[in-house]
Copies of this chain bind each other. A is one copy, B any other.
Amino acid sequence: MKKTTDDILAKIGCKNTKSRKAVIEVLESAENSLSAEDIFLCIKEQGSSVNLSTVYRTLDLMESKSLVNKIIMGDGKARYELTVDGHRHHLVCTNCHKSVPIDFCPLEKMEKDIGKTNDFDITGHKLEIYGICPECKKE
């Protein structure tokens, strides 16, 4: 079980530290994407401690290695999640901020065409769909 996080860290050629393992483990067990502070608090709850700066640095590092996907949200806080095969978009509840991953990407087929039409080299995209989740609808 620890093996996985160690492998991840070895693969990107950086030191295998307690903080980094903690961050990765939190992300692995998360159902939703988390903010840096969410991660920081999770680790604290587990009895360990990391500095918030270190969480940010770890996330930046992992994002630069494409291990983590940074989601820029409308509320001013970025969320992070482990990169899964390909990428993933979310349905975000504008009331409670919970997010549900969507398992397909409406852009996949179109991206190349759009790039060609506009003479851009496409490097990526961000998509979020907003709405009210079932729980919040009840209220």
Q: Give chain B nearest CB distance to A130 CB in angstroms.
A: 5
Q: Give chain B nearest CB distance to A44 CB in angstroms.
A: 26
B120 adjacent to A124 (CB under 8 Å): no
* 8 A Cβ contacts from A98-139 to B: 100, 102, 106-107, 110-111, 114-115, 118-134, 137
Q: Which residues of chain B are near A134, meaning CB under 8 Å?
A: 119-120
Q: Give chain B nearest CB distance to A50 CB in angstroms.
A: 24
Which A residues are closer than 8 A to B by beta carbons? 72-74, 91, 93-94, 100, 102, 106-107, 110-111, 114-115, 118-134, 137
Given A106-B106, A124-B129, 17 new contacts (CB under 8 A): A72-B74, A74-B126, A91-B118, A91-B120, A91-B122, A100-B118, A120-B129, A120-B133, A122-B131, A125-B127, A125-B129, A125-B130, A126-B126, A126-B127, A126-B130, A127-B127, A127-B128
